[in-house]
Amino acid sequence: MKNNTVAVFTSGGDAPGMNACIKGIVDYAFKNDMKILAIRSGYKGLIAEDFIELTPEMVKDNMHRAGTFIKTSRYHDFFKPEIQKKAVEILKNHNINYLIGIGGDGTYRGLIELKKLGINVIGIPGTIDNDINYSETSLGFDTAYNAATENIKAASESMRSFDRVFVAEVMGRHSGNIALNVAIASGADIVAVPEKPITADNICKKVNAVKAKGNNSPVIIVHDYYPYYDELLNKLRNVCKLEARSQIIGFVQRGASPTAYDTILGWSYGIHAIELCLKNKFGIAIGTQNNRIFDCDIEKSLTYPSNFDIDLYNKFDI
Ligand code: F6P
């Protein structure tokens, strides 16, 4: 007879490091004689009762694999109170003592509602966007911006050979963390982030200023919710009369093999989640502060101000 039952699920956009995190959870829980269930496909799978028992054998190759082998989904119906009530019944019927959710802010909002309904929840930040503000970093962010940087550096070499202007779109949704890091690391010239909105006309002015300094291949990084993407390309080509090329970096950022940093972080978060269960601690969001793992009250976790590094942005923009 096992001691306790822990259920784990991933929800929202998959993030490199999630699989390493699940491995940390499974290996450490197994060692402590706990039963581990995976809820497949996030909140959608919870309502469909799509559960499987996990063993160390099933996670042995997890460390270096991107994505989430227990699947994920975006399930907006979970915000309906009657669906949440059903989720609680299901969790109780399966005798689940602790529920660990790995994901972004939508995942956390669901966990907070379940906590209010009496479920022992633990949240782990897993989103390439790095927009879970209480934590310095979330699983997948390091991998995503490194993967995007490598792609953009390679494309920029080709642009330089033709004296072309290059516009690259990276992910990040409402956060400019990926865009800013990529812009700096790839040696780009201009960046558009949601925290500092910029018009297509103002980017064109910056492009002309960069060219006036002798750089004939300005590189512009924009986030994927930049509203003037098409207008920008049109103006660069038809008003500024420049040869411009564009590329949406896309899912190679999210599906890249996790960096060693994200692998170790995910695995450590997973082990720490089980440490909390063993101490019967819950209602906690695990995160990173000063490069160390720390615990935050899950209900407070979504109330922190933006973690976008405005000082870094100002340095880039000098
Ligand atoms: O939240 C992660 C993320 O990759 C965002 O950066 C991006 O805007 C969005 O998901 C894309 O979502 P989907 O996979 O549903 O197209």
pLDDT over 80 at 127, yes or no: yes
Query: Candidates 73, 102, 251, 254: which one to mutate for ligand 1, based on the most atoms within 8 Å of Cβ?
Result: 254
Q: Is 254 in the pocket of ligand 1 (CB under 6 A)?
A: yes
Residues designated catalytic: 129
Query: Candidates 108, 138, 173: which one to mutate for ligand 1, based on the most atoms within 8 Å of Cβ?
Result: 173
Give the mean model confidence (pLDDT) for residues 106-117.
Answer: 98
How is residue 195 written in tokens?
A: 């925290």
CA of 234 to the centre of ligand 1 (A): 25
Helices (H), the chain: 18-31, 42-47, 81-93, 105-116, 141-162, 177-185, 200-212, 229-238, 260-278, 298-301, 310-316
CA of 89 to the centre of ligand 1 (A): 31
Q: Is 144 in the pocket of ligand 1 (CB under 6 A)?
A: no
Give the mean model confidence (pLDDT) for residues 177-206.
Answer: 98
**Among protein residues, the one whose CA lies closest to atom 3 of ligand 1:** 13
Q: Is 103 in the pocket of ligand 1 (CB under 6 A)?
A: no
274 near 28, Cβ under 8 Å? yes
Atom of ligand 1 nearest to the CA of 251: 4
> Which pLDDT score is estimated for 292?
97
How is residue 96 written in tokens?
A: 């689940």
Give the mean model confidence (pLDDT) for residues 72-80.
Answer: 96
> Which pLDDT score is estimated for 318?
74
Place 201 in a pLDDT band, splitting at 50, 70 and 90.
very high
Q: Phi then psi for 36, rounded to 5 degrees?
A: -120, 120
Helix (H, G, I), strand (E, B) or coil at 93: helix
Q: Is 173 in the pocket of ligand 1 (CB under 6 A)?
A: yes
- Based on DSSP, count helices (H) and strands (E) in the chain, helices before strands: 11, 11
DSSP 216: S
Torsion over CA: 130, 132, 137, 143 (sign)? negative
- Mention every residue, 6+ apart, whose C-beta is less than 8 A from residue 41: 48, 50, 70, 71, 72, 73
Single pTM value for the model: 0.97
Q: How far apart are CA 198 and CA 316, in angstroms?
A: 15
pLDDT over 80 at 221, yes or no: yes
> Which pLDDT score is estimated for 3?
72
High-pLDDT (> 90) share of the chain, %: 98
Per-residue pLDDT tens digits for 231-272: 999 999 999 999 999 999 999 999 999 999 999 999 999 999
CA of 11 to the centre of ligand 1 (A): 12
Per-residue pLDDT tens digits for 285-294: 999 999 999 9
Give the mean model confidence (pLDDT) for residues 90-104.
Answer: 97
CA of 174 to the centre of ligand 1 (A): 10
pLDDT over 90 at 105, yes or no: yes
Q: How far apart are CA 267 and CA 270, in angstroms?
A: 5
Q: How far apart are CA 252 and CA 147, in angstroms?
A: 7
**Among protein residues, the one whose CA lies closest to atom 11 of ligand 1:** 13
Domains of the chain: 5-140+258-305 (3.40.50.450), 141-255 (3.40.50.460)
> Which pLDDT score is estimated for 73?
98
Q: Mean pLDDT over all residues of the chain?
A: 97
296, 302, 303, 309: CA torsion to nearest 10: 90
Atom of ligand 1 nearest to the CA of 178: 6
Atom of ligand 1 nearest to the CA of 12: 1
Q: Is 224 in the pocket of ligand 1 (CB under 6 A)?
A: yes
CA of 281 to the centre of ligand 1 (A): 31
DSSP 305: P
Q: How far apart are CA 11 and CA 113, in angstroms?
A: 15
Among residues 263, 291, 302, 305, the alpha carbon closest in space to that of 136 is found at 291
Do the strands 284-289 and 292-297 form a parallel or antiparallel pair, or are they unpaired?
A: antiparallel
Helix (H, G, I), strand (E, B) or coil at 50: coil
Give the mean model confidence (pLDDT) for residues 71-87.
Answer: 97
CA of 190 to the centre of ligand 1 (A): 23
Q: Which of 2-6, 118-122, 186-190, 253-257 bottoms out in mean pLDDT, i.e. has the lowest?
A: 2-6
Place 191 in a pLDDT band, splitting at 50, 70 and 90.
very high
Q: How far apart are CA 48 and CA 276, in angstroms?
A: 28
Per-residue pLDDT tens digits for 13-48: 999 999 999 999 999 999 999 999 999 999 999 999
Per-residue pLDDT tens digits for 140-163: 999 999 999 999 999 999 999 999
Q: Is 300 exposed, middle or buried (0-12, 13-18, 19+ CB in 10 A)?
A: exposed
> Which pLDDT score is estimated for 291?
93
> Which pLDDT score is estimated for 243?
98
Q: Is 171 in the pocket of ligand 1 (CB under 6 A)?
A: yes
Place 1 in a pLDDT band, splitting at 50, 70 and 90.
low
Q: Is 172 in the pocket of ligand 1 (CB under 6 A)?
A: yes
pLDDT over 90 at 2, yes or no: no
Place 218 in a pLDDT band, splitting at 50, 70 and 90.
very high
Q: How far apart are CA 283 and CA 295, in angstroms?
A: 10
> Which pLDDT score is estimated for 124?
98
Query: Candidates 129, 169, 221: which one to mutate for ligand 1, based on the most atoms within 8 Å of Cβ?
Result: 129
115 near 283, Cβ under 8 Å? yes
